[in-house]
Amino acid sequence: LSNLAEACDLEVAGALTQNVKHIHKGYYMGPGKVEELRMLIEHEDSELVVFDDELSPSQIRNLEEELKCEVIDRTTLILNIFASRAKTREAQLQVEMARLKYLLPRLIGTREDLGRQGGGSGLKNRGAGETKLELDRRKIEEKISKLSTELEQLTLQRKTQRKQRNKKDVPVAALVGYTNAGKSTLMNAMLEKYGDKDEKLVFEKDMLFATLETAVRRLELENNRVFLLTDTVGFIHKLPHHLVRAFRSTLEEVTEADLLIHVLDASDPNHEQHKLLTEKVLHEIGVKGIPMIYAYNKVDLTDMESPSVSNSRVYLSAKKRQGLEELTNKISTEILNDYSQQTMLIPYTDGEIVSYFNNNADVISTEYDEKGTILHVICKNSDAEKYSQYVIQE
């Protein structure tokens, strides 16, 4: 919660906790603790109190009356962070929709707000009219409906892009993990090593939810094997379900991936809990049966040996650019295994096919025969099948 507050440019003045069997219906915490909190606010001259759980409208109202300062809950704080970081139209729509869905059941009307709009002399047959509360609710529902329509169009565009990628038969690896584990740093490190110079680097910063947009970048290894790397929004403990639902279309990139690279902050003492939480969210959004590599990042801040590989685990430092080759080798083993070694005799009249294999396959050796060019290549099975008339058995 403290890190979230700092990510929202708030200075943390103090913290207060209470162990209780039951949450107080009126104040969330016990009345005695509320008084203790009021004294802490006065002492620190604080302007805002953030609670770690979702508060009901009546709890917020009661607490603000007692504490004489603004009160928000964890969900509001996360929504504020997301709103300030959303750059693309899709991310902005998703955040706004989550905010409105959270706000809808929390509309609180004062006595003045609840006054009738209709009624009175000469208007008896028109009915009572809408209350201010009902009017606000209807406006929000209409806005949610409008946002949903616009988001659906963007989701269709994303699905079309995925179909086009699938047609090209390019495998996809998706980076997933807890927020601030170093996914974007790892993405940029891989781009520097294997990406095209025209490929744009993604935003990276040491803070929670630095990136909300899903970025897809094309990587080409030295042996001409190509795959797409996807950077996704990070997860966090108690991520509001409104946000998970709103970002579902973005997270679908994960469900369509051929491989998941689960990035963990090895320097964080709670990284194993973060691992379990991320896997729980992945399960909730329908991720099943996709192979996973665990990339233990930031090992330069620990006593762990780097770079090193152990089964499905790769220990690396994206910032120091250590362990990238080891990770790439694991990725190759998992998703770039649809390749086979072939020997082909290509007539000199079909020189464009030789050029194709030089650009799209790993050419081990080239020989020249009176009948044509003999290529020893490691190529996609689909290419071997497509040009099977040139394959010769040794």
Q: Is the preceding peptide bond at 347 cis, omega within 30 degrees of 0?
A: no
Query: What pLDDT is attached to residue 136?
Result: 83
Q: Is 371 annotated as a binding residue?
A: no
Closest CA to 380 of 240, 182, 225: 225
- Has 73 been labeled as part of a binding site? no
pLDDT at 95: 84
Q: Is 233 assigned a ligand-binding role in the annotation?
A: yes
**46 is annotated as contributing to ligand binding:** no
- Over the chain (394 residues), what is each successive 10-residue block's mean pLDDT? 86 91 90 93 93 90 92 89 79 85 72 47 51 82 90 79 64 88 90 77 66 76 80 77 68 81 93 91 84 93 86 92 92 79 91 87 87 88 87 79
Q: Was 386 annotated as part of a binding site?
A: no
pLDDT at residue 198, rounded to an integer: 64
* CB-based contact 315:293 (threshold 8 Å): no
| Residue 188 annotated as part of some ligand binding site | no
pLDDT at 394 (0 to 100): 62
Measure the CA–CA gap between 97 and 241, rounded to whole angstroms. Answer: 12
Cβ contacts of residue 300 below 8 Å, gap of 6+?
A: 306, 317, 319, 320, 322
27 is an annotated ligand-binding site residue: no
The residue with tokens 């704080």 is 77
179 among annotated binding-site residues: yes
* Parallel, antiparallel or unpaired: strands 313-315 and 292-297: parallel
Q: What is the pLDDT of residue 114?
A: 47
- In 3-state terms the chain splits into helix, strand, coil percentages (rounded to 5) of 45, 20, 35
The residue type of 365 is S
- Check the annotation: does 196 bind a ligand: no
Six token digits for residue 330: 């694991």
230 is in an annotated binding site: no
- Give dist(CA 295, CA 346) in Å, integer: 42
Q: Is 149 known as a binding-site position?
A: no
| Cα gap 349→358, rounded to integer Å | 16
Q: Kindly state the tokens that stand for 370.
A: 């009176």
98 assigned binding-site residue:
no
pLDDT at 7: 82
DSSP 8-state secondary structure symbol assigned to residue 28: B
User: Using CA atoms, how far apart are residues 352 and 382, in angstroms rounded to an integer?
Assistant: 18
C-alpha distances out from residue 310 to 192, 318, 329, 370, Å? 25, 18, 13, 49
Residue 234, marked binder:
yes
**Is 183 part of any known ligand binding site?**
yes
Q: How far apart are CA 307 and CA 300, in angstroms?
A: 9
CA distance linking residue 300 with residue 370, whole number of Å: 56
User: What pLDDT is attached to residue 70?
Assistant: 92
**Residue 318 annotated as lining a ligand binding site:** yes
User: Does 84 carry a binding-site annotation?
Assistant: no
Answer yes or no: is 127 a known binding residue: no
* Residue 184, marked binder: yes
Determine whether 36 is exposed, middle or buried from the number of CB atoms within 10 Å of its CB (0-12, 13-18, 19+).
Answer: middle
Long-range Cβ pairs for the range 95-101 (8 Å, 24+) = 95/212, 95/243, 95/246, 96/147, 97/144, 97/147, 97/148, 97/151, 97/246, 98/240, 98/242, 98/243, 98/245, 98/246, 98/247, 99/242, 100/140, 100/143, 100/144, 100/147, 101/144, 101/242, 101/245, 101/246
pLDDT at 392: 87
CA distance linking residue 344 with residue 304, whole number of Å? 46
For position 115, what pLDDT does the model report?
A: 47
Pairing of strands 372-380, 339-346: antiparallel
CA 323, CA 300: separation in Å to the nearest integer? 11
Alpha carbon distances (Å) from 302 to 25, 146, 270, 299:
44, 49, 14, 5
